[in-house]
Chain A
Amino acid sequence: MQMHCFGRKLCCSSYPLVPVSLPSRRETHFWYIVPDEIKDESLLNRYLGLLSSGEKESVFRMNGDKLRKRALLARALVRTTLARYTQVSPRSLKFKKNLFGKPEVEWQPDEKWDPPSLHFNISHTSSLIACGVAADMPIGIDVEEKHRKTRNNISALARRYFSTHEVEYLDNIPDSEMQQQEFIKLWTLKEAYVKALGRGFSASPFNTFTIRFKDICQSSLQVSKNFSSEAYEIVVEALNDSEHLATNCQFAIFELGNLHFAAICTQKDNITQGEEENMLKLKAWKTIPFVEDECVSETDTIIPISGLA
């Protein structure tokens, strides 16, 4: 009885996932969920039904309902988002981990269809869950609450974990509020970089690379007085960059809603030249999968800080 009703309810509340075209080479897609907006138990159960048994176990291993809901929504977001770009149903997507533990889609072989080279990465805070998608190139994203207060002093944290130049940059900021904000921004950029590389944190400890702001006009590296400027390009320098991964990185950072910073790191598209092409094109949606999608790209929900076209 229960099963039958459940099944019928699914059909009635069914709202198909709106398909989306693949991101172009210079484009990143950014999908996010605000967990507090999703309270409907039948919807949450529907999301649960999309998960593999391993994912369900991981969800239930989380401590407490709030964290379980968050874990559930994160998996549901990944599955439903990727399904939009393909003919595949969200439930049937399979995932694997690369050599270093970074999750990737494992496309099932099918002669009729050439699976797209889709890369994704997720990040969450207690109030937001995000999934970045890129075609043909690796992607790393990180979201943090803008006003996150650290227990430790910013200088102490930076000295312990950041590179010398980054410590210097932060130390030169006299206002403690601004210093906290710049720390958070740097943190999101560094996280996005490590996650884009996909080799795990132990392969790229934070103090082995520096995020800097290169003056686009002068083409010289300098410690920027004002990070939040379009005249600057975000670059990363790594102590050991034998594979030139750092030089090929492209960053963008923006404010998301009133509460968050979001950073994206992908590879540069070396085919198209020119300064304008150095900026990332962003398309962003706030979503409640199966219920509604809201494109927020050209709205003031997204306030570019640097790196966005």
Chain B
Amino acid sequence: MASLNATSITFESSLKPSIGSTQVTGRSSRSLISFGLSSNGFPTLRSSRFRVSCSATPQTVEKVCEIVRKQLALPAETELTPESKFTALGADSLDTVEIVMGLEEEFGISVEEESSVTITTVQEAADMIEKLVQQKDKA
């Protein structure tokens, strides 16, 4: 009967999960480990547990958020975090491809078809961008 109380009128329900739990369920199991460079240039092995603190720079995440905000015309008060899922923000498939194109333009990278469908959150987009930028700089 808690559920009946939770169906209260303005959807401000206690059922609303926190961003944290969304993160857990939304986490993809494809790439639990990602390779990258730490700040002193040595390769590091990162596990997904540390993903939030050790991966894409805050500036990259910020830029991604900006592009997502613009594409989805999000109101200023909408909270956007690295774990925010595009679909939860109302993005459909055309929005997603436009976001990818916006990111390609902003960062001067080229995203493969297979990769573009696997980006579902701000963090995933930022991580992929960093990886592609690093590859590009090495070339």
Which residues of A are at the interface with B, using a C-beta cutoff of 8 A?
2-3, 6, 41, 45, 48-49, 53, 56-57, 60-65, 67-70, 125-126, 144, 148, 150-152, 156-157, 160-161, 187, 191, 200-202, 205, 207
Q: Which A residues are CB-close (under 8 A) to B97?
A: 157, 160-161
- Contact across chains for A202 and B17 when beta carbons are under 8 A apart: no
B9 near A45 with CB under 8 A, answer: yes
Can you give 11 A-B contacts (C-beta < 8 A)?
A2-B4, A41-B9, A56-B15, A62-B88, A63-B79, A63-B90, A151-B70, A191-B93, A201-B117, A205-B113, A207-B113
B101: CB under 8 A from chain A? yes
CB atoms of B98 and A63 under 8 A apart: no
A155 to chain B, nearest CB (A): 12
Residues of A within 8 A of B79 (CB): 63
Q: Which residues of B lie under 8 Å from residue A63 when comparing CB positions?
A: 78-79, 84, 88-90
Whole-angstrom distance between the Cβ of A144 and the nearest chain B Cβ = 7
Q: Roughly how many angstroms separate A160 CA and B105 CA in the complex, as a whole number?
A: 12
Contact (Cβ within 8 A) B84 A57: no
A35–chain B nearest beta-carbon distance, Å: 12
A contact residues around B38 at 8 Å (CB): none
Q: Let me know if B7 is at the binding interface, CB within 8 A.
A: yes
Contact A60 B11 (CB under 8 A): yes
A interface: dominant SS:
helix
A151 partner residues in chain B, CB cutoff 8 A:
70-71, 98, 102
Measured CA separation A187–B93 after assembly (Å): 10
B135 at the interface (CB under 8 A from A): no
How many whole Å from A133's CB to the nearest CB in chain B? Answer: 21
Q: Which residue of A lies closest to B115 (CB)?
A: A202
Q: Is B94 in the interface zone, CB < 8 Å from A?
A: yes
Indicate if the CB atoms of B13 and A60 lie closer than 8 Å: yes
Closest to A151 in B: B98
Tell me the minimal C-beta distance from A205 to chain B in angstroms: 5
Of A60, A144, A187, the contact of B17 (CB 8 Å cutoff): A60
Sample of 14 further A-B pairs with CB below 8 A, known A3-B4, A151-B102:
A41-B9, A56-B3, A60-B11, A60-B13, A63-B78, A63-B89, A148-B94, A150-B94, A152-B102, A160-B101, A161-B97, A187-B94, A202-B117, A202-B118
Cα A150 to Cα B70 in complex, Å, equals: 12
Please tell me if B22 contacts chain A, counting CB pairs below 8 Å: yes
Distance (whole angstroms) from the CB of A135 to the closest CB of chain B: 27
Query: Which chain B residues lie closer than 8 Å to A6 at the CB level?
Result: 4
